[in-house]
Amino acid sequence: MIQTLEQLRDLYAAPGERARRKQLSRIDAHARRFIALSPFCVLASGGVNGRLLDASPRGGEAGFVKVLDEHTLLLPDSGGNNRLDTLENLIADPRLSLIFLVPGVEETLRINGRARLRDEPEFVDRFAQERQRPRLVIELLASEVYLHCAKAFMRSRLWEPAGWPARGALPTMNQMISDQMGLAAPTETQEAMRARYLAQLAQERSPEKE
């Protein structure tokens, strides 16, 4: 069992100069472009009240996360299941890490920093023309910015359709959750679930939601 830094480092070579120097303290032009092309990111935040750490997916149109300046980005909060795991975590611990993905691009972008939850009009109004005006915006003050190499995506072949399993390899979401909760509810088909979600997303675009 590895229990010390010394034991850990004995297993690996020292990081190369490129790996050490690629970390920036600001959002440069390349990172800004990467974010502008990204429709999806994963947020990692600290747990509260003894809860384990949390990772949460977020998505939108490409560029749904806005770069305010070289140290600040804004992430709108979209409607979800109202568990608010990430938002509750940030109230107690403002540390936040994001990994941005761009479809078809095997590199990823990581940004670490400290977050604040902003509900002032000057923040939420920036997203008034988006799919849905958010109740609040996560403001991230970036302190570490760096690109990850393509090896993880090359190993996983994530963007290669030939390596994708058939959707039927998994039960439907409704079936999995019903089984986990011990429910005997009728099983919603994958097609019916998508139609329901698409209807909800269409409502987010409606003028009444703005």
Q: Are 131 and 207 in contact (CB under 8 A)?
A: no
- Contact call for residues 143 and 113 (beta carbons, < 8 A): yes
* C-alpha distances in Å from residue 91, one per residue of 79, 116, 134, 138, 205: 18, 8, 18, 11, 29
Per-residue pLDDT tens digits for 68-78: 999 999 999 98
Please tell me the predicted confidence (pLDDT) of residue 128.
Answer: 84
Give every residue of the chain whose pLDDT is below 70, as ranges: 50, 185-186, 205-210
Task: Indicate the DSSP class of residue 158.
Answer: T
Cβ count within 10 A of residue 44:
17
Rounded distance between C-alpha atoms, residue 123 and residue 137, angstroms: 7
The reported pLDDT for the residue numbered 206 is 44
Structure confidence at residue 60 (pLDDT): 92
Q: What is the pLDDT of residue 167?
A: 87
Q: What percent of the chain has pLDDT over 90?
A: 65
pLDDT at 52: 81
Q: How are strands ordered across the β-sheet holding 108-118? A: 54-59, 40-45, 95-101, 108-118, 137-148, 72-76, 66-69
- The answer for residues whose C-beta is within 8 angstroms of residue 98's C-beta and 6 or more apart is 41, 42, 43, 44, 65, 75, 110, 111, 112, 140
pLDDT at 174: 85
pLDDT of residue 29: 97
pLDDT tens, position by position, 97-113: 999 999 999 999 999 99
Question: Does residue 183 sit in helix, strand or coil?
Answer: coil
What's the mean per-residue pLDDT of the chain? 90
